[in-house]
Amino acid sequence: MRIRTTSTQRTYRYVRLSIVAATLVLAVSVGLEVARAGVLPSISAAFYTPAGDLFVGSLCAIALALLVLSGRSIEQGLLDVAAVFALVVALVPTPISDASCEVGAVCVPPAAVPGVINNGVSVASLSVVVLISAAVLARTQGSAGWGTVVTLLGIALIVAGFVTWALSDFPTFLRGAHNVAAVGFFSVIGVVAAVSAWLPQRSLRRFRVLYAAVAVGILGVLLALVAVLVAGAATATVGGVPVIFLGESVVVTLFAVFWLVQTVELWDAPDPALRA
């Protein structure tokens, strides 16, 4: 017997699956590069390799999908914020060791800087248009509650913060923006998983257990990675594999697991928004 579904249900299924698919594409492209040239210092370093196009494309696709998912819940507001961080991670590359850098230092190679400027100006300009449009639509549709206001204000502050940083101290921005955005992105995803785990009226117990595991895993690994960076041990290895690469691999995997669980849990939901 064929189960009838609405076009909205199918759309939300495909959006969630597209997040998983984009993550898989990223993993495969990085895996192929590792097989070709050896392990990378970090997943983010794939930006400078033949996998760079798919690295940027996958993150931009994920950011768009996060914005497409609608709803007025705490989780949705957080995921809108995560989308902004994802764009920064995609478009501002991580600093690397390069012949063009000062001796013993890491930097964004000069050849990549014009692209960062072009992408940054384009995305910042688009962000202003999107924020204004979202505010107007929320007002005209009668959905401009406190959650919407806080979300739009939070996104505006994040965008303004990155723009101000870039304008006031561009060299420092190049060295730090990627890492700040990456920590912000996965922190938000970890919090979203935690919210899903500890609000029992929203999920069956088996899903809450999975969400809790994802939240603890992401936030725990993230804290460990931040500690490694603060300690100046970014080049440390475990069994010949860089610690940063290992940590990033774990959190990316947990990110994919989160969206697989979300897809399964909400597959037949009458209201397929992230949460009612």
- Would you list the domain boundaries of the chain? 7-265
Widest distance between CA atoms in the chain: 68
pLDDT, tens digit (0-9, with 9 covering 90-100), for 137-152: 877 876 667 778 888 9
- On whether the CB atoms of residues 185 and 150 are closer than 8 A, the answer is no
At 146 the pLDDT is 79
What pLDDT score does 139 carry? 79
CA atoms within 13 A on the CB side of 104: 1
pLDDT digits (tens, 9 = 90+) for 199-233: 756 667 788 899 999 999 999 999 999 999 999 88
How far apart CA 212 and CA 158 sit, in angstroms, is 27
State the pLDDT at residue 203: 63
Q: Kindly report the average pLDDT of the chain as a whole number.
A: 90
The confidence band for 1, taking pLDDT boundaries of 50, 70 and 90, is: very low
**Quick one: how far is CA 237 from the chain centroid?**
25
pLDDT of residue 18: 96
Cα distances from 209 to residues 17, 140, 225, 253, in angstroms, run 21, 39, 24, 17
The structure tokens 């007025």 sit at: 72
Q: What is the pLDDT of residues 20-31, one digit of tens each?
A: 999 999 999 999
- Alpha helix stretches (DSSP H) within 92-169: 113-140, 146-168
Q: What is the pTM of this model?
A: 0.92
